Structure 1
Amino acid sequence: MGRRARELLDEMPLGEVAALARAEWELRARSYRVDLWGAAYLINGGCSDDGFEYFRGWLMAQGRDVFERAVADPDTLADVPAVREGLDLEAEDMFGVADSVYWDRTGQAPTDTADYPQLSAFWDRDDKEERRRRLPRLDAVLG
C-alpha cells in the first residue's frame, strides 16, 4: 500500500508533496484523541504510542468517510469490515509517506507541521464496564 502511494508522490511536484505532508499532519493532529486511542486499544488488543500512530495511518488509508466518522465517534469503527474481522489494524508504511518522499527529495523535513493537541485524561481501557459505556458497539463486536 505504501509503495504505490510513494510511487505516486514521487511523480508529483515538490510543492504538492509538501501540501500533502501538511494535510497528513493536520489529520494526525485531528485524530490524536483519547477516545480514538481507546478504540485502537480495544481493536488491536493493546496500543502503544507507536501503535496509535500506525493505527491512525491505517485509519487515514480507509478514506475520508471512515476517517471522519471515526474521529467524530470512534464507536462507528464497529461498522468497518476489517474491524469486525478482528485484524490487527496498523499501517506503518502509510504513516508519514509524504514526509518521507519530501525528505528523500530535499534532504530536509517539511517545515509546516501541525501540533498535536493536549490529551484529556485516559480512562481504564481494561475496565470492561468502562469500555462498554464508552464504546458499546465496538465492545459488542470485539468484547
Structure 2
Amino acid sequence: MASRKPEKTEIPVKPFTEASLFPHAALKSWKVMLPLLAVLVFLVWLGFRLNVDDRVIVGGAVLFGVLSSLFAWVIGVLGLIPFIGPLIVKVLAIPIIWLLNALGYLVSFIAIKRGYSKDVLTYRGLTIALIVGIIIGFILGHLI
C-alpha cells in the first residue's frame, strides 16, 4: 500500500495592520482625533472666556493632549504637508531649540524675581528672534 501524504491545509494568514499590531491605534483615526482637537480648542477658549487661571488652562490642555496622543497626531498631520511639512516636524524635534527656550524661561524667571522685567522683555524678544532665525535657516538650508 502506498502511503498517502495528508494534504496541507493552509491557515489563512491575515495581513498585519496597524490596528492588529497596536490596539490603541484606533485612537489615532482622524474620526476620533479631529473631534478631540475641536474639544480641546473649545475648552481652552471657554477657559479664557470664563477667566480661569492661565496655569490651570495650560496644565489641563497639556495633560489632555499628552494622554490622548493629540499632540503626536497633530505633528503627524503637519508632516503630511508636501515639502515643508517634514521640515517643520524636524525643526520641532530639534533638542537645541527646546533647550534654548527652557533656558530662556529659567533666566526670565530669575530676572523677574530680581526686578529686571524690562530687560527680560528685551531678552525674550532677542531669544525669539534667534529661534525664528535658526528655524528659517534650517528650512532654507534644506530647500536649497
- Global fold match (TM > 0.5): no
Q: Which has the larger radius of gyration?
A: 2
- Relative to total residues, which structure has the larger helix share, 1 or 2? 2
Q: Could you state the TM-score of these two structures normalised by the residue count of structure 2?
A: 0.28
